[in-house]
């Protein structure tokens, strides 16, 4: 498979180059040249399903045998043998639990695989990389866990000192692995992001230390997430549910990565009816689906911080598709968005691409708390705020005869304060992580200063 940039002027790359590059040189995101059709007979465990669904995107750049063992290794780290188990919520409404990985959030599904994949591709090329990232929460810990046993990858994660939750910080700072470094920066999350951007813009430094990123624009993450949509449908069928009218999914959405993976599963032929895009009060996407206009506003903090975004970066991949894969047109639209703060899509584009597939919902903090309480009282299940946004969207758009699956994107114990406030009960950490608060922490405190941070990264990279 070859990959093209959504902005149309970066070189066309093969799979391995696409994964290692992350962002395209023209600032665009890579997408496959064509959408393959899903394998006709889907059977076997999650790791086998993953290899079957992903292999057309990888082609012969990873052998079938190696792909099978990468998938087996990645998904053996999950605590449930089904990896992403489907559980009933209420009549006709299910939850797909995506939080059984090491760091209790859905990002593990992609990042456990990506770590193994990176190491394998770098081994073939005899190369090494240094991953540098800034985090305000989930991505940092999931990325660290994904690469902690990689021999060819070093990782340095910056976080704002005193400004991430205890669980989130400890999930990063208690990993005792020689290739992992956490830097507690005296500054805000924006300061951390600016420092990372500055390092990537410092060409000599970037090339010398072979800097790489694992943010949600990496194609391999989107690809790995397609798998669990197929898994959900497989589990529904195994439960005797009728899927003849298709299956709808409700997806708590931030950067549009998770729900884009659902769109791709549908494009590959999965019997998906609707994809419900759930937003918190940062509802740029919901407003877009209502008005056909994308217009940015300031971000407000909510109970579901991983969805507190101003712009959803992965939407660009769908926009490229809607523009008939015209990279020039996509670039123009995005430039207009940057300079004027908005862009609109044509009515026929909306009718063709969006109306048949997408539904939208929003859920503010009051509704989020009420939903956590309601689900706890009616089912005894504890859900966390992101999942609550999804459940509201699922209930809103449920149809008779069409199973609805809400994606549960994090474990309740990852957001214990919000859950306790809503239910009166504090969710417990699962056994494998129950001693999180007893483990020793390792972090290096650094000033909000590029030279100081670069010195730390240089010492770690050893390149
Ligand atoms: C990252 C994240 C989301 C948002 O996913 P996107 O792919 O960015 O849309 C939702 N919930 C949780 C818990 C997350 O960590």
Q: How far apart are CA 218 and CA 103, in angstroms?
A: 20
CA atoms within 13 A on the CB side of 331: 13
Does the residue 382 lie in any domain?
yes
Both tokens of 37, joined, read 């059709």
The response to whether residue 257 sits with its C-beta less than 6 Å from ligand 1 reads yes
User: For position 285, which CATH number holds?
Assistant: 3.40.50.1100
Secondary structure of residue 440 in the 3-state scheme = coil
Closest atom of ligand 1 to 261 CA is 7
User: Would residue 107 show up in a list of annotated catalytic residues for this protein?
Assistant: yes
The response to whether residue 105 sits with its C-beta less than 6 Å from ligand 1 reads yes
User: Ligand 1: which residue has its CA nearest to atom 1?
Assistant: 306
Q: How many structural domains are present in the chain?
A: 1
Q: Rounded to the nearest whole angstrom, what is the distance from the C-alpha of residue 373 to the centroid of ligand 1?
A: 21
Does the residue 28 lie in any domain?
no
Residue from 107, 116, 154, 414 carrying the catalytic annotation: 107
Does the residue 133 lie in any domain?
no
Closest atom of ligand 1 to 386 CA is 11
Q: One digit per residue, pLDDT tens: the chain, 463 residues? A: 999 999 999 999 999 999 988 889 898 999 999 999 998 777 889 999 999 999 999 999 999 999 999 999 999 999 999 999 999 999 999 999 999 999 999 999 999 999 999 999 999 999 999 999 998 777 899 999 999 999 999 999 999 998 888 888 999 999 999 999 999 999 988 899 889 989 988 999 999 999 988 777 899 999 999 999 999 999 999 999 999 999 999 999 999 999 999 999 999 999 999 999 999 999 999 999 999 999 988 889 999 999 988 888 899 999 999 999 999 999 999 999 989 989 999 999 999 999 999 999 999 999 999 999 999 999 999 999 999 999 999 999 999 999 999 999 999 999 999 999 999 999 999 998 899 999 999 999 999 999 999 999 999 998 8
Predicted TM-score (pTM) of this structure: 0.95
Does the residue 351 lie in any domain?
yes
CB 312 within 8 A of CB 306: no
CB 281 within 8 A of CB 259: no
The response to whether residue 262 sits with its C-beta less than 6 Å from ligand 1 reads no
**Secondary structure in 3-state letters for 228-287:** HHHHHHHHHHHCCCCCCCCEEEEEECCCCHHHHHHHHHHHCCCCEEEEEEEECCCCHHHH
The response to whether residue 386 sits with its C-beta less than 6 Å from ligand 1 reads yes
Q: Rounded to the nearest whole angstrom, what is the distance from the C-alpha of residue 333 to the centroid of ligand 1?
A: 25
Show Cβ contacts of residue 459 under 8 Å, excluding neighbours closer than 6 positions. Answer: none
Does the residue 445 lie in any domain?
no
Does the residue 15 lie in any domain?
no
Does the residue 310 lie in any domain?
yes
| Residue 385 domain boundaries | 86-101+220-423
Q: What is the enclosing helix (H) or strand (E) of 195? A: helix 189-201
The response to whether residue 302 sits with its C-beta less than 6 Å from ligand 1 reads no
Secondary structure of residue 133 in the 3-state scheme = strand
Does the residue 360 lie in any domain?
yes
CB 107 within 8 A of CB 138: yes
The response to whether residue 140 sits with its C-beta less than 6 Å from ligand 1 reads no
């Amino acid at each position: 498979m070859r990959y093209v940039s959504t902005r149309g002027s970066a070189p066309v790359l093969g799979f391995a180059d696409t994964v290692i590059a992350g962002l395209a040189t023209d600032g665009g995101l890579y997408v496959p040249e064509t959408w393959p059709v899903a394998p006709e007979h889907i059977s076997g465990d999650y790791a086998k399903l993953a290899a079957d669904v992903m292999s057309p995107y990888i082609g012969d750049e990873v052998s079938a045998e190696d792909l099978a063992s990468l998938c087996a290794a990645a998904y053996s780290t999950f605590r449930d043998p089904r990896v992403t188990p489907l559980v009933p919520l209420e009549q006709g409404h299910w939850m797909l639990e995506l939080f059984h990985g090491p760091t209790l959030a859905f990002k593990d599904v992609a990042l456990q695989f990506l770590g193994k994949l990176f190491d394998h591709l770098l081994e073939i090329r005899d190369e090494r990389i240094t991953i540098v990232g800034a985090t305000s929460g989930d991505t940092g810990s999931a990325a660290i866990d994904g690469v902690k046993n990689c021999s060819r990858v070093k990782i340095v994660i910056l976080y704002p000192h005193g400004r991430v939750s205890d669980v989130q910080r400890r999930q990063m700072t208690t990993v005792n692995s020689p290739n992992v470094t956490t830097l507690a920066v005296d500054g805000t999350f924006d300061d951390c992001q600016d420092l990372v951007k500055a390092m990537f813009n410092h060409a000599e430094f970037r090339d010398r230390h072979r800097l790489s990123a694992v943010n949600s624009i990496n194609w391999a993450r989107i690809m790995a997430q397609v798998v669990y949509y197929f898994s959900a449908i497989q589990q529904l069928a195994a439960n005797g549910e009728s899927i003849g009218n298709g299956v709808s999914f409700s997806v708590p959405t931030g950067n549009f990565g998770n729900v884009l993976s659902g769109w791709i599963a549908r494009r590959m032929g999965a019997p998906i009816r609707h994809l419900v895009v759930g937003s918190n009060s940062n509802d740029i996407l919901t407003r877009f689906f209502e008005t056909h206009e994308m217009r940015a506003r300031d971000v407000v903090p909510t109970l579901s911080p991983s969805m507190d975004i101003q712009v959803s970066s992965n939407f660009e991949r769908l926009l490229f598709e809607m523009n008939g894969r015209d990279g020039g047109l996509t670039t123009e639209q995005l430039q207009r968005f940057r300079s004027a703060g908005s862009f609109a899509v044509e009515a026929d584009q909306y009718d063709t691409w969006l109306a048949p597939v997408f539904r939208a919902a929003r859920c503010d903090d009051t509704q989020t708390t009420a939903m956590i309480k309601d689900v706890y009282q009616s089912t005894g299940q504890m859900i966390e705020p992101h999942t609550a946004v999804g459940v509201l969207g699922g209930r809103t758009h449920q149809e008779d005869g069409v199973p609805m699956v809400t994606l549960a994107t994090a474990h309740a114990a990852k957001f214990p304060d919000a859950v306790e406030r809503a239910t009166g009960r504090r969710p417990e950490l699962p056994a494998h992580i129950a001693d999180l608060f007893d483990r020793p922490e390792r972090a290096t405190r650094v000033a909000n200063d590029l030279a100081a941070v670069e010195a730390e990264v240089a010492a770690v990279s050893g390149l």
